[in-house]
Amino acid sequence: MLFFTRWKAAAILLTAFFVCLCAVPNFFPESTVKHWPAWAQRHVVLGLDLQGGSHLLLQVDSSAVRKERLQSLSDDVLRVLRQARIQFTGRAIVGNGVQVHITRDTDMDNALAKLRELSTPLSGILGASGQRSIDVTVNAGVITLTPTDAALTERIRQAVDQSIQIIERRVNELGLVEPTIQREGLDRILVQVPGLQDPSRLKTVIGTTAKLDFRMVDQSMPAEQAAQSRPPADSEVLDGEGGVKYLIEKRVLVSGADLTDAQPGFDQRTSEPIVSFRFNSSGARKFAEATQTNVGKPFAIVLDNKVISAPVIREPILGGSGQISGSFTVQSANDLAILLRAGALPAPLTIIEERTVGPGLGQDSITAGEHAAYAGAALVIVFMFATYGLFGLFANVAVAVNIAMIFGVLSLLSATLTLPGIAGIVLTVGIAVDSNVLIYERIREEVRGGRSAINAIDAGFSRALATILDSNITTFIAAAVLFYIGTGPVRGFAVTLGIGILTSLFTAFTLTRLIMAYWVRMWRPRTVPI
Amino acid sequence: MRFRRISFPISALLSIAAIALFFFHGLNFGIDFVGGTLMEVQTKAGPADLAKMRSTIGGLKLGDFQLQEFGAPNDVLIRISEQPGGDEAQQAAVQKVRDALGDEVDYRRVEVVGPSVSTELLAYGTIGLVLAIGAILIYLWFRFEWQFALGAMIANVHDLVLTVGFMSLTHIDFDLTSIAALLTILGYSLNDTVVIYDRIREMLRRYKRMSMPDLLNVSINATLSRSIVTHLTVAISLLALLLFGGQAIHSFTATMMFGVVLVGTYTSVFIASPILIYLGVGANRMEGAAEEPEPPKPQAAATPPQRTRTRR
């Protein structure tokens, strides 16, 4: 137990030294570390509860994705049947599918064939999964097309990917530092922005769908009347600024998807903040057509089903550019321009969890953590020295190396350190000492039992090590489970606890033994100073 | 070991009391598990006027809410219960409070948990505890005999039950960090139990003729000094955390202190070891065989059915 070959001793010391070295970048300010080579720059990442920042969990509204899919399927059915010149009636979205009644029975086969073409095979992880995107069924002359669950899942997945890209664009424009935007599960997105004090603006920028449409105002009846009774079939009532209601046609003339640019600015005449925009060629053409045929009539600019502006078309706009004016502030005009440039989100996002920590609290937490760590370490060191004397000193060295190694491993993994994580480190100090205590108590016992000094030490180690392994593994299992079920700060605790156990096992099995072996060899003690 | 006649009934009583507390007094579930909003604000100009804040927020008609001082006199913790209307409603409520309190306060921390996430966290938390208990049980089964595994589990679940009772009594916030504390207590007090069991196993091999109660006594005495030292070191590390760690992890540290130091020691010595006798370990020992097998006292909800004594 106490015999180490030169190679083994060197290997152990080198490993410990190397891991401790990895912790070094943490103690230098960011500015100095930047100049070091890339491999030396890995350091611990401070969690949001220590740095301050915002953690937002967003969920894609899957019912909206489903509705949109059904709507486009319904449009596709219309297109296909018209092209094939098949007569039909009663095309409608019913429940989870689109239904259509084929007028003539002779057309049924043809209709089915054409409609079946709308269904595309879905690819699984390993290529074609054998599933298709739409189920087509027939019942008494009525064809029902239902998007499969697999297809919807795929759609949601795509919506999340798209949303992540759009959010990235939007967040970048806000100039925020190092945001983390990633998918979580099937339909969720995690956004973490360190150092953000007031997330309100961020939430608005991320949470707004930003679907921009240009539609005509329906002047056939006053909007109020339409709101009380029923609006005409192709129009709907939408709210505008200040609660004013508008009756707007459902048909979209040009959509925001055709915008190539949007910039905040000021109206030349009124000096009020406005957003000026420009269409691509197809959008410009549609816009020109619409304005030419509707001179003198009001048209509405609808953003997320709210009318922000309803100006009258004074003259046809052929150049494909224009401006939106409404009750904007400089910042809201800027934000809208950002949203339009980045593109509309494919589906609405809801914030289902928010955790924001201000920098004041973050700094306080760091200070508290540091104090606790130093106090704890100091107390333990004094206690160990008082209880075990010289051996206590060995244990203290091992514990010190242990803590350095924890930081080293955390740095190597670029892991996140949270306040519970610091608590975990302090706790690990207590647990790590246990391994040494087990060994020392065993040695004491062996000495009492009459063994010679060296034999007692040797026996102490061999007997205690199996116990050390067993007892630490149970705590490790608890840490592993906690890592799996935890989020954020709790996960940080599980990480430091787990790593702490591993490093304390390492130091107990190797470092403490090494120190002991060396001491025995140098001083050749007759008695054990315990 | 004589103590087991006292300690078992005491433990049973305490466990029942803890469970009763859990059901009737309830736990102070944090927003992690029941949803809602938590805001820690710091008034910029002098100590906080709680009464005024209370009426301001009350006027917003956001349902149940709590206001309390949190550490310093100008630190206030506002907790608003989950708003009806799904996830968007929570955000709307936060905005209302922000608008109402305006510039008078600094927002140190804002946490909003909607209904979808809170149900998930609650599920994960419970599953996590059950999973951990199961995983550790399996591990112990491998390393020791089944009686040891079961004994350890009963003792340590009893630990958890008492800790939950403590949390109910003190009305400590019960959120994700509390689950972390519970899991750590579980792992750590098992740590303890395993050390004693290891010693018992060694003794069983070495002294084949010693009676069980004596053997257990010897084992416990042998490990006692180690236990005391270890518990003291963990206690002082936790003490440092409690004194200096700040308000944010206060509930976590207090729970750990109770579970690990107070309860953990007691159960490892007074419950985990004597239970082995009841589970039939060493039943074929000479003097020990003379003991009448009393039915195991009800231990919380984890009573094993009457088992026939097995030969080791």
Task: Render pLDDT for B17-48 as a digit per residue (tens, 0 to 9).
Answer: 888 888 877 788 888 888 888 888 888 877 87
Q: Which residue has the higher pLDDT, B288 or A166?
A: A166
> Could you say which DSSP state residue B114 is in?
-
Residue written as token pair 């109020």: A224
C-alpha of B181 from chain center: 6
Token pair of A229 as six digits:
């009774």
Q: Please, how many CA atoms are within 13 Å of residue B273, restricted to the half-sphere of its CB?
A: 32
Tell me the one-letter amino acid at A1: M
Q: 3-state DSSP: chain B helix, strand, coil percent, rounded to 5?
A: 65, 10, 25
Alpha-carbon Rg of chain B, whole angstroms?
24
Picking from A200, A352, A422, A497 by the largest number of B CB atoms within 10 A of its own CB, the best residue to mutate is A352
Q: How many CA atoms lie within 13 A of A447 on its CB side?
A: 16
Contacts of A365 in chain B (CB under 8 A): 246, 248
**What confidence score (pLDDT) does residue A245 get?**
84
Tokens encoding B197: 């069991």
Whether residue A482 and residue B233 make contact (CB cut-off 8 A), yes or no, is: no
Per-residue model confidence as pLDDT tens for chain A (530 residues): 677 788 888 888 888 888 888 888 777 777 777 777 777 777 788 888 888 888 899 998 888 888 888 887 887 888 888 888 888 887 888 888 888 888 888 878 888 888 887 777 776 555 556 667 777 888 887 888 888 888 888 888 888 988 898 888 888 888 777 788 889 888 899 998 887 777 888 888 888 888 888 888 888 878 777 777 777 777 788 888 777 888 888 778 888 888 888 888 888 888 888 888 888 888 888 888 888 888 888 888 888 888 888 888 888 888 888 888 877 888 888 888 888 888 888 888 888 888 888 888 888 888 888 888 888 888 888 988 888 888 888 888 888 888 889 988 988 888 888 888 888 888 888 778 888 888 888 888 888 888 887 888 888 888 888 888 887 888 888 888 888 887 777 888 888 889 999 998 888 888 888 888 888 888 877 777 76
Phi, psi values for residue B64, rounded to 5°: -65, 135
**Residue B5 in this model has a pLDDT that exceeds 70:** no
DSSP secondary structure code for residue B306 in this structure: P
Query: In B, residues 269-298, which contact A (CB 8 Å cutoff)?
Result: none
Q: Could you tell me which of A281, A332, A280 has the C-alpha nearest to residue A303?
A: A332
On whether the CB atoms of residues A352 and A307 are closer than 8 A, the answer is no
Q: Which of B183, B198, B222 shows the shortest C-beta gap to A470?
A: B198
Q: A164-182 burial, b if ≥16 CB within 10 A, otherwise e?
A: bebbeebbebbebeebebe
Task: Report how far apart, in Å, the C-alpha atoms of A493 and of each of A46, A61, A155 are.
Answer: 13, 32, 36
pLDDT given at position B276: 72
- Give yes or no for B63 touching A (CB within 8 A): no
The letter for the amino acid at B40 is: E
Minimum-distance CB partner of A420 among B132, B225, B252: B252
Q: In 10 A of CB B301, how many CB atoms?
A: 9
Question: d(Cα A91, Cα A103) in Å, to the nearest integer?
Answer: 11
DSSP β-bridge partners for residue A245: A239
- Measuring CA to CA, which residue among B218, B216, B220, B212 is closest to residue B287? B212
Say how far apart CA B211 and CA B227 lie, in whole Å.
Answer: 23
For residues A221 and A187, the answer to whether their CB atoms sit within 8 Å is no
Confidence of residue B300 (pLDDT cuts 50, 70, 90): very low
Q: Least CB-CB distance to B116: which of A200, A352, A387?
A: A352
Closest residue, chain B, to A357 (C-alpha)? B109
Token pair, residue A472, equals 């630490």
Q: Is A376 on the interface with B (CB under 8 A)?
A: yes
Two structure tokens written together for A154: 């795929």
Range list of β-strands (E), A250-388: 254-255, 259-266, 273-279, 299-303, 306-309, 321-325, 349-357
Nearest to A435 by CA among A405, A404, A463: A463
Give B295's Cβ-side CA count (13 Å radius).
7
The percent of residues in chain B predicted with pLDDT above 90, rounded, is: 0
Helices B176-206 and B146-170 sit at what angle, rounded to 10 degrees? 150
C-beta of residue B310 within 8 angstroms of C-beta of residue B276 = no
In terms of DSSP bridges, do strands A53-60 and A188-194 run parallel, antiparallel, or are they unpaired? antiparallel
Q: Check residue B310 and give its pLDDT.
A: 47
Q: Are A490 and B179 in contact (CB under 8 A)?
A: yes
Which of B112, B187, B194 has its CB closest to that of A353?
A: B112
Sign of CA dihedral A208, B65, A196, A273: positive
ipTM of the complex: 0.76
Residue B299 has pLDDT above 50, yes or no: no
How far is it, in rounded angstroms, from Cα B124 to Cα B209? 48
A260 φ, ψ (degrees, to nearest 5)? -100, -25
- Residue A4, exposed/middle/buried by CB under 10 A (0-12, 13-18, 19+)? middle
Q: How many CB pairs under 8 A join A and B?
A: 231
CA distance B296 to B304: 8
